[in-house]
């Protein structure tokens, strides 16, 4: 019996379009060679990428120093992330980029700002001097608790310029969560704003900082960006307005020559229990990884307007709103607010007005748009789009097809990118000019990345059996540890398989070697002796014409061991009643098998999601079993969803 069974059969294949393939940064031939090199000698592959895509002040002595599970990449080399994202686009043959848009920003109320590379460089240098003026030196941690405004990117790049690792805390977190994170990192300075716009209202941020740092000994100064002009309390001597400090700051600040392994940032992810984990990333390897993957996977060109909808408070925003994109000298679009403000077509309106060519978003957003109806995207000219991306969760095949047809006009390749906060950059992904895609599959590991599906004993399983997704060789963007807790790092990621990194996801491979991610291992259900992942039953439900989104969990059952309970969001205008329940149960039986039929189906307008948009199945399990919710619900985006689900149950 395999560890996880794979049930869903998806056979549609989409080849790269001829015109796209012809102009792709990475051609089929190129990819074939790079894959060969990456498999034979990953260090050589990454060294080649590092030379080609990153500017170094001093070369490395050794590509990789691997003392499992601790890696050092490009040992002895010196570089600077801010230099790679800014200065090198103002020099030599790239100097023409000086007046090219680095950031196109749009606020939720509709205000806009464009920062060219030379303007961004100037602002970053000035803020780096502000940091120095407030006593921040190399190695000091800086916490950023900010809305999606250009000052966030400026602050990040300023930190990297002087070698002060940043710790970005998503602006939706509470003051307690902020306090825990500031204390864990021992941050010396906090950058925040009076507020930011979200769903039509200014959302205050400064009060949470005031509250949080009453319990933080390490914080000496707070810098506040004026965004919403809402009232703020002020502590003289500690609090400073961004614009006051910037008015005085010099724009001359050479980038520090930092060691390749110098800490770049800490980003907290919630663990399954208690204390959040401070995932540590360092300089040279991370920069090589994100710059190379951004260029290859998104096919970034100088002419592109690239838009990733993730908040910079998540890893996707770090790697593919800011660092990987600016390091390539591309134009990145940043949007401050909610996807449905002022109307359900805000995203499509932005794409039309800014002529966005590359669009990277999450399955949860895609399914929300499916539910809202096709008329919203169809009311806009989306012909500027040439490539689409997906990240954060498995994308159900039918959502993939909708994305391809309704948003991509059947002409845009889709890159379904699998990776994690811990991996730093994209790991399993199509290369849009070279790899055939299958809806629901992230396809193949990026060249130089080694991934396998293994069983409990770390043995490779045979296709198409499911198992645990493991990364079998170190890679440059990998986390270097958990801040202040090397033991937890070893236990969490390396104790299961010893020599392999355990990703926590279930997956299987098909006969062509493609990877299909089946969801988190913790969510696997054991139904009548079959161990099945949540993704496949959910995909079966979403493939029904009336369903926009579904989440499936197991509830203890005397007869079958576990009964499948499905929470289903119907599409707009669908009547959700007993006839649909019956139809959906039969539909799942037909798609997968009778044993996977949900014992119970509950209809709901909204599913509980984390602030980064992932469905929280743990909470749904409690509801399905009639248990009290235990554990942390602070990462839940909208608490009222939970109460509503309980009432309806
Ligand atoms: O379960 C996988 C899912 O998101 C997890 C990582 O979450 P986080 O650290 O928040 O980073 C999200 C952005 C990179 C993974 O362990 N996941 C991410 N991308 C995919 C995915 N699951 C399936 N397909 C994907 N493309």
Atom of ligand 1 nearest to the CA of 310: 13
User: Cα(420) to centroid of ligand 1, in Å?
Assistant: 5
How do beta strands 62-67 and 70-75 pair? Answer: antiparallel
Structure token pair of residue 412:
């845009």
Model pLDDT for residues 46-66, shown as the tens digit of each residue? 999 999 999 999 999 999 999
The size of the chain, in residues, is 649
- Exposed, middle or buried, 556 (CB in 10 Å: 0-12/13-18/19+)? exposed
| Ligand 1 atom, smallest distance to 421 CA | 9
The per-residue pLDDT for 640 is 79
pLDDT-derived band at 529, boundaries 50, 70, 90? confident
Look at ligand 1, atom 21, and give the residue with the nearest C-alpha: 393
Question: Which residue minimizes the CA distance to atom 24 of ligand 1?
Answer: 394
Which residue has the least CA distance to atom 14 on ligand 1? 420
Q: In what order do the strands lie in the sheet with 112-116?
A: 112-116, 101-106, 331-335, 305-308, 358-361, 387-390, 414-416
Cα–Cα–Cα angle for 249, 122, 357, nearest 5°?
145
**CA-closest residue to ligand 1 atom 12:** 392
The pLDDT of 540-567, averaged and rounded, is 92
**What percent of the chain is modeled with pLDDT above 70?**
98
Give the 3-state secondary structure of 530-583.
Answer: EEECHHHHHHHHHCCCCEEEEEEEEEEECCCEEEEEEEEEECCCCCCCHHHHHH
Which of the residue ranges 83-92, 143-152, 496-505, 522-531 would you say has the lowest mean pLDDT?
522-531
Adjacent-strand bridge partners of 197 = 202
- Could you give the CA distance from residue 576 to residue 546 in angstroms, rounded to a whole number? 9
Residue 514: the pLDDT is 97
Mean pLDDT of the chain: 94
Tell me how far CA of residue 131 lies from CA of 104, 230, 253, in angstroms: 25, 25, 11
Across 542-562, average pLDDT: 91
* CA gap 570, 568 in Å, rounded: 6
Q: Pick 532 or 153 by higher pLDDT.
A: 153
Q: Which residues line ligand 1 (CB under 6 A)?
A: 269, 315-316, 390-394, 416-421, 442, 503-505, 517, 520, 612
Q: Which atom of ligand 1 is nearest to the CA of 517?
A: 23
Ligand 1: centre distance to CA 391 (Å)? 6
Q: Is the pLDDT of residue 232 over 60?
A: yes
How much is the pLDDT for 526?
87
Compare 498 and 134 and report the one with higher pLDDT.
134
pLDDT in tens, 331-382: 999 999 999 999 999 999 999 999 999 999 999 899 999 999 999 999 999 9
The confidence score (pLDDT) of residue 109 equals 97
Order of strands, sheet of 547-557, starting from the edge strand that comes earlier in the sequence: 547-557, 561-570, 600-603
In this structure, whether the domain defined by 525-648 belongs to CATH 3.40.605.10 is answered with no
Atom 2 of ligand 1, nearest CA residue: 393
Question: Which residue among 281, 517, 534 is best mutated to probe the pocket of ligand 1, counting the most ligand atoms within 8 A of its Cβ?
Answer: 517
Query: 176 versus 437: which is more confidently predicted?
Result: 437
**Which of 244 and 618 is assigned the larger pLDDT?**
244
Distance CA 347, CA 69 (A): 42
Residue to mutate (ligand 1; options 10, 271, 418; most atoms within 8 A of CB): 418
Higher-confidence residue of 459 and 271: namely 459
**pLDDT over 90 (residue 403):** yes
pLDDT reading at 630 higher than 70: no
Residue 649's pLDDT band (boundaries 50, 70, 90)? low
Q: What pLDDT is attached to residue 441? A: 97
* Domains of the chain by residue range: 117-256, 525-648
Does the pLDDT at position 273 exceed 60? no
| CA–CA gap between residue 591 and residue 536 (Å, rounded) | 10
Residue 645 has pLDDT above 90, yes or no: no
| Distance from C-alpha of 547 to C-alpha of 341, rounded to nearest angstrom | 24
Q: Please report how the helices 117-133 and 150-162 are oriented relative to each other, as an axis angle in degrees rounded to 10.
A: 60
Measured CA to CA, the distance from residue 551 to residue 569 in angstroms comes to 9
Nearest atom of ligand 1 to the alpha carbon of 535: 23
- 242 CA from centroid of ligand 1 (Å): 35
Q: Which CATH number does 117-256 carry?
A: 3.40.50.980
For residue 429, give the ligand 1 atom closest to its CA.
Answer: 26
Residue 648: pLDDT band with limits 50, 70, 90:
low
pLDDT at site 297: 98
What's the gap in Å between 69 CA and the centre of ligand 1? 22
Longest CA–CA span in the chain (Å) reads 73
Q: Per-residue pLDDT tens for 93-114?
A: 999 999 999 999 999 999 999 9
Comparing 628 with 616, the larger pLDDT belongs to 616
Q: What is the mean pLDDT of residues 537-559?
A: 93
pLDDT at 79 over 80: yes
For 411-544, strand residue ranges (E) read: 414-416, 451-454, 466-471, 481-482, 501-509, 515-520, 525-527, 530-532
Helix (H) or strand (E) holding 239: strand 239-241
Contacts of 558 (CB under 8 A, 6+ apart): none
Tell me what pLDDT residue 631 has. Answer: 66
- Rounded CA separation 289/424 (Å): 8
Distance CA 492, CA 497 (A): 11
Confidence (pLDDT) at 646: 75
């Amino acid at each position: 019996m395999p560890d996880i069974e794979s049930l869903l059969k998806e056979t549609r294949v989409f080849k790269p379009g001829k015109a796209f393939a012809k102009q792709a940064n990475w051609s089929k031939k190129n990819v074939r060679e790079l894959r060969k090199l990456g498999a034979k000698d990953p260090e050589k592959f990454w060294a080649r990428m590092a030379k080609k895509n990153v500017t170094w002040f001093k070369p490395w002595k050794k590509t990789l120093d691997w003392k499992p599970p601790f890696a050092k990449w490009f040992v002895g080399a010196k570089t600077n992330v801010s230099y790679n994202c800014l200065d090198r686009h103002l020099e030599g043959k790239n100097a023409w980029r000086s007046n090219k848009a680095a950031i196109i920003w749009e606020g939720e109320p509709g205000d806009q700002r464009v920062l060219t590379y030379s303007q961004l460089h100037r602002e970053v240098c000035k803020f780096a001097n502000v940091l120095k003026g407030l006593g921040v030196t190399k190695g000091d941690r800086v916490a950023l608790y900010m809305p999606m405004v250009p000052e966030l990117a400026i602050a990040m790049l300023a930190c990297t310029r002087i070698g002060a690792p940043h710790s970005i805390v998503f602006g939706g977190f509470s003051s307690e969560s902020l306090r825990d994170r500031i204390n864990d990192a021992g941050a010396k300075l906090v950058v925040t704003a009076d507020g930011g716009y979200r769903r039509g209202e200014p959302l205050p941020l400064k009060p949470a900082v005031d509250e949080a740092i009453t319990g933080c000994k390490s914080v000496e100064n707070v810098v506040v960006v004026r965004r919403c002009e809402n009232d703020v309390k002020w502590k003289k001597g500690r609090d400073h307005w961004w614009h006051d400090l910037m008015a005085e700051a010099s724009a001359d600040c050479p980038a520090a020559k930092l060691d390749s392994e110098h800490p770049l940032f800490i980003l907290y992810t919630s663990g399954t229990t208690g204390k959040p984990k401070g995932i540590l990333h360092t300089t040279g390897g991370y920069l090589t990884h994100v710059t190379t993957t951004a260029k290859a996977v998104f096919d970034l060109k100088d002419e592109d307007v690239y838009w990733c909808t993730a908040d910079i408070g998540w890893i996707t925003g770090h790697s593919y709103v800011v660092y990987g994109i600016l390091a390539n000298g591309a134009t990145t679009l940043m949007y401050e607010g909610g996807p449905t403000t002022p109307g359900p077509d805000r995203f499509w309106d932005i794409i039309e007005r800014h002529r966005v060519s590359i669009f990277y978003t999450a399955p949860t957003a895609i399914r929300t748009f499916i539910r809202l109806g096709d008329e919203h995207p169809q009311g806009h000219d989306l012909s500027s789009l040439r490539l689409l991306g997906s990240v954060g969760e498995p994308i159900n095949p039918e959502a993939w097809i909708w994305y391809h047809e309704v948003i991509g006009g059947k002409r845009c390749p889709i890159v379904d990118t699998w990776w994690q906060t811990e991996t730093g950059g994209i790991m399993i992904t199509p290369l849009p000019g070279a790899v055939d895609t299958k809806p629901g599959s992230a396809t193949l590991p990026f060249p130089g990345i080694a991934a396998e599906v293994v069983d409990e004993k770390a043995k490779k399983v045979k296709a198409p059996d499911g198992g645990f997704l493991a990364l079998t060789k170190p890679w440059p963007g990998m986390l270097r540890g958990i801040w202040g807790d090397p033991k937890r790092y070893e236990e969490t990621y390396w104790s299961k398989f010893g020599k392999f990194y355990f990703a926590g996801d279930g997956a299987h491979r098909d006969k062509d070697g493609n990877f299909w991610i089946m969801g988190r291992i913790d969510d696997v259900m054991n139904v009548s002796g079959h161990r099945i992942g949540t993704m496949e039953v959910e995909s079966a439900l979403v493939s029904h014409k009336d369903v926009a989104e579904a989440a499936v969990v197991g509830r203890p059952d005397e007869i079958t061991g576990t009964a499948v309970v499905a929470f289903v969001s119907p599409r707009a205008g669908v009547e959700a009643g007993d006839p649909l329940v019956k139809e959906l149960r039969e539909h799942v039986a037909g798609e997968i098998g009778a044993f996977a039929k949900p014992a119970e189906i509950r209809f709901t307008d909204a599913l509980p999601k984390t602030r980064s948009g992932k469905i929280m199945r743990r909470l749904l399990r409690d509801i399905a079993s009639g248990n009290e919710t235990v554990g942390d619900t602070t990462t839940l985006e909208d608490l009222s969803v939970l109460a509503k689900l309980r009432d309806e149950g």
